[in-house]
Amino acid sequence: MLAPTLAMLAANSIFPLFYALSVSLRNYQMLIPGAHRWIGLSNYLRIFGDPLFWSSLHVTLWFLAGVIFLQFPVGMALALLVNRLRRYQNMIATLLLIPTIISSSVAAFQWTQLFNYQFGPVNYVLGLLHLGQPTWTADPSLALPALIFVDFWQWTPFMTLLLFAGLRSLPDALVEAARMDGSTGWQIVWRIYLPLLRPVIGIALILRILMTFKLFDIIYVLTAGGPGTVTENLAFFTYIQGFRYFNLGYASALAILQLIIVSILAKALIALTRRSSLGGREAAA
């Protein structure tokens, strides 16, 4: 009975993975006819000497920093706020879903209109306040922060809902006991909520890290990697190598390397949250 499922898994996941690994070890260029010769690890060695790779990795790390230092704190604060409400929790949770369920390409197109230099409402409001009217996606110093803000706007509600669901699953008896012992709100958050929520936090961060490494839509629509390569992350850099220059061997090596990086980050985060959650449970007990 498992055979159909295993066959689908092999066809959709296992075979493409090993085929991409095989292509990454060859000089596979679609513009060059003939056999694609075996070159071993040359594509991987080329990656580490490519300044464009390091530039795209730098952009990707900036997006990761936005997830960890912006989306998680704001999402946690909003989750705590919604959890304190006694009414309208379901309505607020539904409203928070709206940015998340919108297609990323549609959201990026909306923000293209909002960031428009001449007709966009963002610059209109800034003009009324005499704060200047920047060219958001055309300015090398503002294009990346603008993209990080769009990602923040769309996916912080997702972080909030995950953390809110985790808060709802915690036993009320612990919080009530802490309040009877005279604990302040901050002490409850720091000593009870955060330790017990670490598995949920780990899952939320892992999901967002995976989504950040796959981020493509908003970059393609808003900036197309520009100006220059300022907003070109690893996913977009891989796309350019594979579908603009048709260098499939190099693009496959980039994809395999990203898989390795994400796997290491996810494994480390899972191990960290497991150790932390055990310590948090002992402290709560």
Q: Is residue 45 part of a domain?
A: no
Q: Is residue 247 part of a domain?
A: yes
Q: Is residue 200 part of a domain?
A: yes
| Rama region for 222: left / alpha / beta (φ>0; ψ in -120 to 50; rest) | alpha
Q: List C-alpha distances in Å: 218 to 16, 119, 212, 266.
A: 26, 20, 11, 24
Owning domain of residue 77: 51-284
68-102 residue pLDDT tens: 999 999 999 999 999 888 788 888 888 888 999 99
Q: Is residue 17 part of a domain?
A: no
Q: Is residue 162 part of a domain?
A: yes
Cα–Cα distance, 92 to 66 (Å, whole number): 24
Q: Is residue 119 part of a domain?
A: yes
Q: Is residue 221 part of a domain?
A: yes
Query: Which pLDDT value is given to residue 35?
Result: 66
Query: Which pLDDT value is given to residue 9?
Result: 84
The total number of structural domains that make up the chain = 1
Pick from 53, 22, 21: nearest CA to 235: 53
Q: Is residue 73 part of a domain?
A: yes
Query: Which pLDDT value is given to residue 158?
Result: 93
Query: Which pLDDT value is given to residue 26?
Result: 92
Q: pTM value?
A: 0.89
Task: List, in order, residues 6 or more apart from 86 with CB less than 8 Å away.
Answer: none
Domain with residue 138: its CATH number is: 1.10.3720.10
Low-confidence residues of the chain, pLDDT below 50?
283-284
